[in-house]
Amino acid sequence: MSYKIFLRLAVVAIVVWVLVELIHSCGENPTQNQLFTQLTMMRSDMQAVIKSGGQVTDYDDNRKTTFSRVYLILGVSAESWSDSLRRTYTDTLIGRGWHQVKSDESKPIFCKQGVYASLLPPHNEYGASLTMEFDASSTMQCRKLLSGD
């Protein structure tokens, strides 16, 4: 008899835990309005970067739509990449309100309004890339990086 009671309590505890986690995760995820607003800002800033130079090889404009995340990925050919172009991209982002949170010259990281962006140099046969992403994780990561923890 005590085994059945223990089993029922365990099932109830698991159900309660799942519900609490579900409610918590929904509270952390951005709203659809926030996603749309940030995606609009990201697209505008990415277009400013594109206009500043470099040969674009790929542009992923949130192809895999989800309900809790938006992203952009810009691919730039290795042949057109240079330190000067990296500085131009960095200056363009900073000029548009991005904060450089990691000052590694080769791989700078930026945050703006909870959006996380990284600029990666060419590697092996792949060109350079600029990625921007906004979701609960990026917001938390930017908050941590901007606070200096």
Query: Judging by DSSP bridges, how do beta strands 115-120 and 109-112 pair with one another?
Result: antiparallel
Residue with the bigger pLDDT between 20 and 114: it is 114
What's residue 15's pLDDT? 62
Q: Which two tokens stand for residue 74?
A: 């810009």
Indicate the pLDDT class of residue 20, thresholds 50, 70 and 90.
very low
Are 101 and 93 contacting, i.e. CB atoms less than 8 angstroms apart? no
Q: Which of 74, 50, 44 is nearest to 61 (CA)?
A: 74
Residue in the structure block whose two tokens are 């509270």: 27
pLDDT single digits (tens) 32-80: 899 999 999 999 999 999 999 999 999 998 887 677 899 999 999 999 9
In the chain, domain spans? 1-29, 31-147
Spell 36-54 as b/e; 16+ CB within 10 A means b: eebbebbeebbeebbeeeb
pLDDT single digits (tens) 123-143: 888 899 999 999 999 999 999
pTM for the model stands at: 0.78
HSE of 109, CA atoms in CB hemisphere, 13 A = 13
